[in-house]
Every structure is written in structure tokens, then in C-alpha cells.
Structure 1
Amino acid sequence: MTTGVRRRMGVDERRQQLIGVALELFSQRSPDDVSIDEIASAAGISRPLVYHYFPGKLSLYEAALKRASEDLAARFVEPHEGPLGTRLLRVMRRFFDFVDEHGPGFSALMRGGPAVGSSTTNALIDSVRQAARDQILAHLGVQEPPARLELVVRSWISLAESTALIWLDGRRIPRAELEKQLVHDFAALAAVSAAYDEEMGALIRTVFKDEPADGPFADLVGRLVALAS
């Protein structure tokens, strides 16, 4: 973070600097608790100059949120190679990297913040969820998902969000355990849905048939068998 250093910047460079400064501050505390004066001081400029580039904290928050949402959506991008369970585990690790790095901002976004309820904020949140949904379906090799698969994928994305928020409140469960648990949750949701629908059953059999014995999905099966014995 730059502090107390003034230098001439172009308009776009200054805007990007302010967005970066705001993101760093929002990652440390809730956006509601960060003032324009703090952002100006951290950027090494005056308060009026912040307003020259952004009409108010809401517009700066939305710009920072846009950059953060693009970063978060990118965490779901994963090469379509190797077992699905391993791929999902890597995605969850990157997702929790983001949550860990931007805890207060992530929490404010999902629970309430200065731009909550605005059309811009809602659109950005939806864009992240849509990107995650599209990535998961791509890994499953499905372009037009049946209703039950759509329900499984969207439910799992909501579960990942809720799990991250609960984890941030005290971090009482080891992060690595939650990452693996969420991969197990996906398999469990898919399996339950497959029990009710043959189309889902066929998809699950195809996707899971190449899972290795030491992968996350096999680990879930082993845990369930041990629980039932």
C-alpha cells in the first residue's frame, strides 16, 4: 500500500490505484468501517481528489467489488484434465484462498455492505455465481443441464458461500477439512439426486467411473462405509 507519497498519475492509473487501495482496506475491515479519509491517506492524495475520481464511497466500493468479483470468478477456472474430485478440490482451495485474503469484504458482500441491494452489486454477485455454475457444468461435459443437475450445481455453490461465511466467524474448523468436505458435499448432492432420476444416475456413473481409489470421492465412500459398519 502506498502511504504519504504524492506523484502525478494518469486518470485510469489513479482510478486503478484507488480501487486497489480500497480493496486492501476492505479486505481488512468491513467496507462500512472504512472512510474516504482513510482511502485518501493510504493512496497519498487528498479527500477531494478521491471525489474527483469517484462520486462517493458507494461508487468506489462498486468498482472495487467489480475487480474482486472478476478475481473470485477466475478462481473457478480449472483445466479439464484429471479426475473431477481432484479438480474440484483445487477449485475449493483457490476459493478459500480468496475468502481468507478478503474475509471482511467477502462477508460484507454476502451479509450486508454499503452497496447491498443495488442493481450493480446484485449483478456482480450473480455474475460470480453464473461463472461458477458454467465452470462446473463444463467439467461435467454438460451444456444444457436437466433440472435436477441445475439444482445440484446451484445448491452446491450456495453451500460453498454459506460454509465460507460460517468459517470466517471464528475459523473453528480447519480450512483444509472444509475444502475437502465441500467436494464431498458435491458428490453427496449429486448421488442423492441420482437416486431419484435415471438421467442423473447415468451422468454420475459416467463422471465417477474414472475416479481414483485415492481421490476425494473414494475417500467419501470409505468414510460412509466406516460410519455404517
Structure 2
Amino acid sequence: MSTGVRRRMGVEERRQQLIGVALELFSRRSPDEVSVDEIASAAGISRPLVYHYFPGKLSLYEAALQRAADDLAGRFVEPHEGPLGARLLRVMRRFFDFVDDHGPGFAALMRGGPAVGSSTTNALIDSVRQAAYDQIMAHLGVTRAPARLELVVRSWISLAESTALIWLDGRRIPRGELETQLVHDFAALAAVSAAYDEETAALIRRALKDEPPTGPFSDLAVRLIALAS
């Protein structure tokens, strides 16, 4: 009968294992509620060994946030092919996949959790927002955005964050409806901005010229016409 020999891990392999274990626990409960003892137990090592790899819970938490931030930023990466509305809808689905799977961890990342106000946490949050901004601008084919368009995109990213946080508190609206609504929100914000700025209007016209009649942007137009009639 095999007794099962525990394999020794290298330093970096063990660090990555602990980060993965911490992320899994943080995905189910707030990081404030997860103890170092729980992390050690889930990793199959002793509490002192956790401290051998990380100086404290905060440093492990920040490492876990870094991995979560990298994952979340990657959700905004989308091939620059096909209508913009469909692309944004796929981005929102992947974004909400992350939110759905890592609810407490997402809330901790956006609200700061036990590291609220720390320069590391703030930098991670800013990096996710900047990555999302850069991706959206790339989809619009813009390298230097007019001031109004930059305001639209950054406001929309903040709206997506706050919408997801509110949705996590009870999930009272079907997720799919929110994903579509956020794409509609982008179109609405862009349209209002375009009405005030011709440079933004030209960029938006170019981005929307290939939108099909069955896409999310066309769906919004139908809904607004019905509302006004």
C-alpha cells in the first residue's frame, strides 16, 4: 500500500501555490475573514512556513490581488474584429465571469479590503482601470483621445465597476441583462459626448459604421425610439 510522499516544492512554486490557495479562499469570503491558519491548512503546510514565504498576511494578500488584477485586466483583451457592440458585449461577459467567480475577491480588489489606502493596492486598481481604458481606446482606433472621449471611456469603466459591486449585493437583476445594459450605457455616453464635440462624433461614427441591425447598439436605438413614441 502506498503511503503517499509529499513532494517538496521550490521557493517560487510554493509562493505561487500559496497565492492560488489564498485567491480561492478570498473568492468565497472576504479576505478579512480568512486567517493565515486557514491558508496554511488549505496549502498543507504549517503556519510558520507561510511566514517563511510571505512576511505577513498583508503581503500574501497583495500578491493575491496582483494575480487577480492581472486576470481581470486580461478580461478586456478582445480581437479587433467584427462590430464594436459585439466586442464590448463579449468583454462584459468575461468581466462578469470574473465577478461571478470571485465575488468577495473582486469587491476586496475594488474597495481595498484589508489593504485599503495602501499604495500597492491603489496601484493595482489603477493598473486594471488603465488596461481597460487602453483596450477600449484600441477598439475605437484612437491613439490620442479627445478630452470628451477620454471622459466617456473612463466614466464607463467606473460605471462597470460600480454596477458589478451593486449586483453582487443580492444579484437582483439577471446578469445577462446587465451585461447588455452596460454596452448600451457605453453607446449612450458616447452619443451624448458626440453631440457636444465634432471630433468625438467623427470617431464614434467611424467606430459604429459596421454595426449590424441585430447588434446591441441597434437594439438600444429601437428601445429609445419605443420610449419616445
Aligned to 1:133: 133
CA distance in 2, matches of 1:134, 1:75: 13
Tell me the equivalent position of 1:155. Answer: 155
Query: Alpha-carbon deviation of 1:111?
Result: 2.5
Structure 2 counterpart of 1:181: 181
Q: Tell me which amino acid in the other structure corresponds to 1:174.
A: P
Write the distance in 1 (CA, Å) between the matches of 2:108 and 2:204: 36
Q: Deviation at 1:112? A: 3.9
The number of aligned residues is 225
Q: Percent identity?
A: 87
Cα distance between partner residues in 1 of 2:7 and 2:31: 26
Stretches of structure 2 lacking an aligned partner (at least 5 in a row): none
Question: Matched residues in 1 for 2:106 and 2:19: separation?
Answer: 16
- Name the SS for the 1:114 alignment partner: helix
Contact in 2 for aligned 1:72/1:98 (Cα 8 Å): yes
Alignment of 1:6-17 (within 5 A): 6-17=6-17
Structure 1: runs of 5+ lacking an equivalent: none
> Under a length normalisation based on structure 1, what TM-score does the superposition of the two structures give?
0.97
Please state how far the C-alpha of 1:115 moved relative to its aligned partner.
Answer: 1.1
Whole-angstrom distance in 1 between the partners of 2:206 and 2:127: 29
Which whole-Å deviations, capped at 9, do the CAs of 1:103-128 have from their partners, x for residues lacking one? Answer: 00111222341111111111111110
Q: Do the aligned residues in 1 keep the contact of 2:112 with 2:121 (CA within 8 Å)?
A: no
The aligned residue for residue 26 of structure 2 is 26
Measure the CA separation in 2 of the matches of 1:25 and 1:65. Answer: 12
Tell me which residue corresponds to 2:70.
Answer: 70
Which position in structure 1 is the counterpart of 2:58?
Answer: 58
Q: Do the aligned residues in 1 keep the contact of 2:156 with 2:186 (CA within 8 Å)?
A: yes
8 Å Cα contact 1:109/1:116 also seen in 2: no
Kindly provide the CA deviation profile for residues 134-177 of structure 1, in whole angstroms up to 9, marking residues without a partner as x.
00000000001010010000000000000000000000000000
Look up the SS of the partner of 1:195 in the other structure: helix
In structure 1, distance between residues paired with 2:161 and 2:182: 10
CA offsets 1:39-67 (integer angstroms, 9 cap, x no match) = 00000000000000000000000000000
**Alignment correspondent of 1:201:** 201
- Give the alignment's TM-score, normalised by structure 2: 0.97
CA RMSD in angstroms comes to 0.9
The answer as to whether partners of 2:112 and 2:122 remain within 8 angstroms in 1 is: no
